[in-house]
Amino acid sequence: MDGIAVARALTSAGVGGSAPGAVQPRADPAGASAFSIAAALPQDDDAIRRLLRESPFGNDVALSLEREPDSRLAASIEGDDHLSLVARHRSGVVAGIASRAVRRVFVNGTVTRIGYLGQLRIDPRFRTHRELLARGFDAINQMRHQDGVRLHLAAVVADNVAARRLLARRVRGWPIFQPVDTLVSLAIPVGAGGRGRPRDLECRRGSLDDLDDIVGCLEQHARRSQFSPAWSRADLLSAARSRNLHLEDFAVARRDDRVIGCVACWDQRPFKQAVVRGYAPRLARWRPVVNLLAPLTGTPYLPPVGATLDFAYLSHLAPGRGDTADPSLAIALVRAALAAAARRGLRYVVLGLSASHPLFPELRRPFSHRAYESVLYAVFWPEDEALAAALDGRPSHPELAIL
């Protein structure tokens, strides 16, 4: 998501108002379509970034998930084919935005092209207009018929009951949202978890010489999981698909002079930001105390309103080249990535795993963290229900950094 859950706020009820000088929507004549849906144009970027900036999420902590200085920079990491949609009210106001990214992932152990639906933002003035949602689903339905991508994913924070109830409805023309897994985001303070690694293991920074081994580790791990990206050499070397991610950002584990695992510390702040827009009154009152005790309790630092969160994603986690993941190797890799994050001055990292993943209990135990749950949905139209029914029982591992 935008990292699915940098904070619990990702898809909860938004806070926001009209932009200064914005045109107010007019009443719609009976039977007339109030909205037009179209691919975003370069000249829409200011409106897209404004809507992201003015649509914070969350209860205790209100965050805006922003894409400065150009929303298209972040879009390039999300898939081979990315389309941002703009919903425009007849008054000229941009009423909402959404995105659809198509990427190559492993489904039942085989590389398959699927879509991801995300970045949904609706101007508060239009959130009661169900026509807006229906028109958006119509546009996505047309796209899937054009490119043949029939299965999509979406994610919603677990405690956003209103959104989950809405998606559970079976409405003619809407896709089916079928829950397939629970994803957990672990926000781990830098410095948590201590030091140490198995004596026969070496962890060091990646380099171009490690590229083929990194790709091999990622592929073996991805085949064991559902919805893991199929990373290629070209993807990892691409300035667009792997923006601000370099091979030197990988921690590579070696045993007996053989690469057996990897993880990356992906700092996306130059093009994606989580900005604090407010605190609940009680948390605002206690924030100085929380920050004073943070080094002792291992809880994340709470920055001032208007500050960008200093975090990176732990991405491209692939611990082990065999048929099963190695927990001790995974812990050593996360520790190496935490050390890299500390050298960059980051305050914490975010790691996403399925609650059913074998590594989940092993990785949450040694590290201080805050955990946030999201529901992962398979999204499909009724005629493609067999695609969802064919999904086997592998734990999901979609890459949090590109959601």
What's the confidence (pLDDT) of residue 124?
Answer: 87
For residue 114, give Cα distances in angstroms to 23, 140, 394.
38, 13, 17
What's the confidence (pLDDT) of residue 298?
Answer: 66
**DSSP conformational letter for 299:** P
| Tokens 């995300």 belong to residue | 118
What's the confidence (pLDDT) of residue 295?
Answer: 77
| Tokens 């809407």 belong to residue | 174
β-sheet bridge partners, residue 374: 157, 183
The answer to whether 8-17+34-186+373-402 and 188-268+311-351+360-368 have equal CATH topology is: yes
CATH number for domain 8-17+34-186+373-402, candidates 2.60.40.10, 3.40.50.300, 3.30.1490.20, 3.40.630.30: 3.40.630.30
Contact 237, 118 (CB under 8 A): no
What's the confidence (pLDDT) of residue 28?
Answer: 46
Cβ contacts of 269 within 8 Å, gap of 6 or more:
308, 310, 312
CATH number for domain 188-268+311-351+360-368, candidates 3.40.630.30, 3.40.50.80, 2.60.40.10, 3.40.50.720: 3.40.630.30
What's the confidence (pLDDT) of residue 252?
Answer: 97
- Could you read off the pLDDT tens digit of each residue along the chain, which spans 403 residues? 454 434 343 223 333 333 333 333 344 444 457 889 999 999 999 999 999 999 888 778 888 999 999 999 999 999 999 999 999 998 888 999 999 999 999 999 999 999 999 999 999 888 877 788 888 999 999 999 999 999 999 999 888 888 889 888 888 899 999 999 999 999 998 877 666 677 788 999 999 999 999 999 999 999 999 999 999 999 999 999 999 999 999 999 999 889 999 999 999 999 999 999 999 999 999 999 989 987 777 677 889 999 999 999 999 999 987 777 889 999 999 999 999 999 999 998 999 999 999 999 999 999 988 888 999 999 999 999 999 999 998 999 999 999 9
What's the confidence (pLDDT) of residue 392?
Answer: 93
What's the confidence (pLDDT) of residue 16?
Answer: 32
- Residues 243 and 235: their CA atoms lie apart, in Å, by 10
- Domain residue extents for the chain: 8-17+34-186+373-402, 188-268+311-351+360-368
